[in-house]
């Protein structure tokens, strides 16, 4: 606290948001691991500005690579967590996935999933969207 008890640390909201996002990713990862998926990579980002990010890259026992978007909301109001994955967000995730797959000589089957966290509820949407 600064002079007259005013908040001085302008970075606190960003850290708080980041911490909530990391906690949501941890919950999603635990949920997917319990279902038999294995973590391949976390927070994959394309180089440069304006690219995309993939929260979790997982692999199913059968070999399918799963690109996972994790969305968290305190409650289901205003469309909930699913409504926050708009066309622009999907486009950036697909861009990042294509970039990620460039390192594979023969890419495996892939899928785009979403893990939605609303309060205490965790919902896994397999095949939430596609790259087509």
Is 115 within a domain? yes
Question: Does residue 7 fall inside a structural domain?
Answer: no
Asked whether residue 95 is domain-assigned, the answer is yes
Model confidence at 1: pLDDT above 50: no
Average pLDDT over residues 91-114: 93
| Higher-confidence position of 19 and 13 | 19
What's the token pair of residue 24?
């949501």
Give the Cα separation of 111 and 23 in Å (integer). 23
Q: What pLDDT does 2 receive?
A: 43
What pLDDT sits at residue 35? 96
| Residue 7 pLDDT greater than 50, yes or no | no
Task: Give the per-residue pLDDT at 17.
Answer: 74
Work out the end-to-end distance of the chain between its first and last CA atoms, rounded to an integer number of angstroms.
Answer: 51
Q: Does 9 fall in a domain?
A: no
Q: Specify if 24 maps to a domain.
A: no
Q: What is the pLDDT at residue 79?
A: 54
Q: Tell me what the pLDDT averaged over the chain comes to.
A: 83
Give mean pLDDT, residues 98-104.
Answer: 92
CA distance 42 to 125: 18
pLDDT of residue 16: 78
* Contact of 16 with 61, CB cutoff 8 Å: no
Residue 11 lies in a domain: no
Rounded CA-CA distance 46/122 in Å is: 27
- Specify the number of domains making up the chain: 1
The answer to which of 31-40, 79-88, 91-100 has the lowest mean pLDDT is: 79-88
Alpha helices in the chain (DSSP H): 12-34, 87-101
Residues of the domain holding 55: 30-129
C-beta of residue 93 within 8 angstroms of C-beta of residue 80: no
Contacts of 23 (CB under 8 A, 6+ apart): none
CATH assignment of the domain containing 123: 3.40.1350.10
């Amino acid at each position: 606290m600064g002079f007259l008890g005013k908040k001085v640390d302008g970075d606190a909201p960003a850290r708080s948001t980041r911490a909530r996002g990391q906690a949501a990713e941890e919950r999603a990862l635990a949920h997917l691991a319990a279902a038999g998926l294995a973590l391949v990579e976390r927070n994959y980002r394309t180089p440069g500005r304006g690219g995309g990010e993939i929260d979790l890259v997982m692999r199913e026992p059968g070999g399918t690579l799963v690109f996972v978007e994790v969305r968290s909301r305190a409650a289901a109001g205003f469309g909930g967590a699913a409504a926050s994955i708009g066309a622009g967000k999907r486009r950036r995730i697909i861009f990042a996935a294509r970039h990620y797959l460039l390192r594979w000589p023969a890419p495996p089957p892939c899928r785009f999933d979403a893990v939605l966290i609303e309060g205490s509820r965790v919902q896994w949407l397999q095949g939430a969207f596609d790259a087509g």
